[in-house]
Amino acid sequence: MARVTVEDCIETVKNRFSLVMYASKRARSLSSGAELMVDRDDDKNPVVALREIAEDKLDIEQIEGSIVRGMQKHIQSDEPDDEEMDLLTAGEDFGEALNQESAPSLNNPLDSEYGDTKRAMPVFDDDVLPVDNNTLPSTD
């Protein structure tokens, strides 16, 4: 690259690493068809980008923001949004919240259907499941 151009840019951008990042971002945008701010003079895009920075033709803060946004990763939030939260807290009005005629209530006990009759789900004492002695390994 042109040494004179780099030395001129150091007056505008003090950090050489930042200068490289800004110039490379600008050179890529020039390759994509962005409008030139200085005459090309048979220079390649990286040199044109450095000349634009040296002549203070670019908004460095805008380029820095673009670099930061490009490097950010999208993190999925586990929290429900406002609409989902309204549905979760609807309670008895769950059907109305969904704009439906009827929906199951979240406050009623869970029933299991067997044919025409409904039977409540079994409840075990002390949260212990029954043990089937036929399936246990013998201790003999």
Predicted pLDDT of residue 49: 93
CA distances from 68 to 3, 9, 81, 87, 110 (A): 27, 21, 26, 36, 50
Q: What is the pLDDT of residues 108-135, one digit of tens each?
A: 555 545 555 555 555 555 555 556 666 6
Predicted pLDDT of residue 82: 78
Predicted pLDDT of residue 73: 79
Task: State what percent of residues in the chain have pLDDT above 90.
Answer: 33
Answer yes or no: is pLDDT of 4 > 80: no
Predicted pLDDT of residue 17: 93
Q: Tell me if 85 sits within 8 A of 92, measured CB to CB.
A: no
For residue 34, what is the DSSP state? P
> Counting Cβ atoms within 10 Å, is residue 6 exposed (0-12), middle (13-18) or buried (19+)?
middle
> How many angstroms from the chain centroid is the CA of residue 77?
8
Q: Pick 136 or 87 by higher pLDDT.
A: 87
For residues 35 and 40, give the distance between their C-alpha atoms in angstroms, rounded to a whole number. 11
Indicate the pTM of the whole model. 0.50
Overall fold of domain 3-71 = Eukaryotic RPB6 RNA polymerase subunit (3.90.940)
Q: Tell me if 90 sits within 8 A of 96, measured CB to CB.
A: yes
What residues does each domain of the chain span? Answer: 3-71, 82-121
Banded model confidence at residue 8, pLDDT cuts 50, 70, 90: confident
Q: What is the pLDDT of residues 15-72, one digit of tens each?
A: 999 999 999 999 999 999 999 999 988 899 999 999 999 999 999 999 999 888 888 8
Answer yes or no: is pLDDT of 1 > 60: no
Q: Tell me if 63 sits within 8 A of 25, measured CB to CB.
A: yes
